[in-house]
Structure 1
C-alpha cells in the first residue's frame, strides 16, 4: 500500500480503525453521506480519547464535556458502498481554549481520499459555557505529525436573512440528542446540505462548518443559503451554525 511518508512521526500516537461502508450510510449514488462519515469521525475520536483518558465519560465525571466548535472537510472522493476504508486520527493542542483533532480517510489502494480537521472546546455542564481545557490535557505530549489540513482562524460570517436565495425549514427531535443533551453535530450537516441540489452534494469538495449555539429537541430551525454559504437559524433568527462549501 502506498501510504504516506511518516518520517519523524510518532505513529504510536496515531489511532486508526477500519470500516466497511454500509448501505444505510450511502446516498442514491452509492457514495457515503457526509454526515455518516462524520459519525465515524466521532467514533474514532471518542475511542482515541478513551485510550488517552479524556473521552466524554472522563470529562462528564468532572462536570464538563467536549463540544465541537468547527469541522473542516476536504474531499477527493467519498467512500462507496461496501468499500473498505481506514480512518486515522490524532489530537493536537491549539491553545488553552481549543484543541484540534485530525482525520484522514484511506482507501484499500493506499490513496488518501478525505482529510479533515476539527476544533474542540470544553464546556461546563451546568453553565453550558466554554471553560479552559484541563491542565492535565494541556501538558500532554501528542503526535508531532503535521496537521492534515492547515488550521485556520478565518471567521465565517452570517448574512442578512432577508438576502437568502433559498430557505427550508427543519425540526429537531428527541432522537437528534446525544450524551451532551443537545443536537449532535452530525445532524447539522444533514440539515445544511439538504438545501443543496443533489448534484451539488455529490460533487462536494470542501465543507467548513462552524457551530455557534446548542439546540435542544423540538425546535424549528431555518436553513438558508446564499452563494457558497449556508446558515442555520433559530426562531429568533440567531445563527446556530454557519457553513461554506464548494
Structure 2
C-alpha cells in the first residue's frame, strides 16, 4: 500500500509567476492537476488504468484558499490525497507548503471529481471503485466545493477561440486555461494592490478546438463572479468562478 499523502516538490519557474514574481493561479491549477494524476497513477486509478475500462476522471469543482503566494525560484511542497466520496463526487484535497516553513500550508484546496464514461460522456457511480480506492481521513478544507450561482447578466470581457495549445490529452480545453482566462479579467490596478484569497470554480461543460467562448465577469471592491460560455449557445455555461480578494 502506498503512503498518503502523495508529495511532489516544485521549483517556480519564470513562466509560472506573474509581473509581481508571484505564483499564477493557472500555474497552481497545473500543479494540482499534475500531482492529482501522478497520485492516481501510483494508487492504481490513473489515466491508463481507467481509459482501458472506457473511463476517465473529470474535475468538476474546486475551492482554493490562498493565505500567501510563493515567489519565483522558491521550492514548494505539494501534498495531495483522496479523502472520501460525496454522492457522485470523489473528493481530493491539496496542501501547498513553503520550503522555508512547513508548519502551516500557504495554500489549501479541495476538489470534486466525476468518473465519466468516455462513450456516453455521462457520470458513472463510484461503487465499483470506492471499496478499493485508498483514502486519507484528513481535510485541507472540510466542506465539499459548492455549486455556484452567477448573476443572470454580466458585462462581456472578451471573446476567445480555443486553440491547440489549450487542449488536454482528452482533446478538450484544459482546466488551467479557464482559470487563466478568468484571472485575466482582474484589472491591473486592482491586481497590484489586492490578491485573490479565496476562489471557487465549477467546470460545467466541455469546449473543443475552434470553439468561440465568451468571458463575462462582474466585479466589486472585494468580490468577483465570472463565467465562460459557448458563444453559439449563450445559455450553455462551460465554467463559472467566484472569488474574493484582500490586500
Whose strand fraction is larger, Structure 1's or Structure 2's? 2
CA distance in 1, matches of 2:174, 2:126: 21
C-alpha deviations, 1:151-202, integer Å up to 9, x for none?
23642113223xx245211221122111122111010000111111135445
- Which of 222, 228, 238 is the equivalent residue of 2:214? 222
2:238 equivalent in structure 1: 240
TM-score (norm 1): 0.89
Indicate whether 1:13 and 2:36 are aligned.
no
- Which of 176, 180, 188 is the equivalent residue of 1:198? 188
TM-score (norm 2): 0.89
In 2 relative to 1, CA 17–153 (structure 1 residues): closer, same or farther, beyond 3 Å? closer
1:132 equivalent in structure 2: 125
2:175 equivalent in structure 1: 185
Shift of 1:86: 0.3
Do 1:158 and 1:239's aligned partners in 2 also have CA atoms closer than 8 Å?
A: no
1:92 equivalent in structure 2: 83
CA distance in 2, matches of 1:231, 1:98: 22
CA distance in 2, matches of 1:224, 1:138: 41
1:147 equivalent in structure 2: 139
CA distance in 1, matches of 2:145, 2:96: 24
CA distance in 2, matches of 1:136, 1:242: 29
Indicate whether 1:60 and 2:56 are aligned.
no
C-alpha deviations, 1:212-231, integer Å up to 9, x for none?
10111111111111232101
CA distance in 2, matches of 1:153, 1:32: 23
CA distance in 2, matches of 1:224, 1:149: 28
In 2 relative to 1, CA 126–47 (structure 1 residues): closer, same or farther, beyond 3 Å? same
CA distance in 2, matches of 1:58, 1:134: 16
Shift of 1:57: 1.2
1:156 equivalent in structure 2: 148
1:6 equivalent in structure 2: none
CA distance in 2, matches of 1:170, 1:55: 31
Indicate whether 1:213 and 2:205 are aligned.
yes
Shift of 1:137: 3.4
Do 2:228 and 2:238's aligned partners in 1 also have CA atoms closer than 8 Å?
A: yes
> What is the CA RMSD across the aligned residues, in angstroms?
1.9
Q: Which stretch of the first structure deviates more once superposed, 104-113 or 147-156? A: 147-156
Do 1:89 and 1:102's aligned partners in 2 also have CA atoms closer than 8 Å?
A: yes
CA distance in 1, matches of 2:82, 2:190: 31
In 2 relative to 1, CA 27–62 (structure 1 residues): closer, same or farther, beyond 3 Å? same
Question: How many residue pairs end up in the alignment?
Answer: 234
SS in 1 for 2:86: coil
SS in 2 for 1:71: strand
SS in 1 for 2:129: helix
Shift of 1:56: 1.2
Do 1:98 and 1:119's aligned partners in 2 also have CA atoms closer than 8 Å?
A: yes
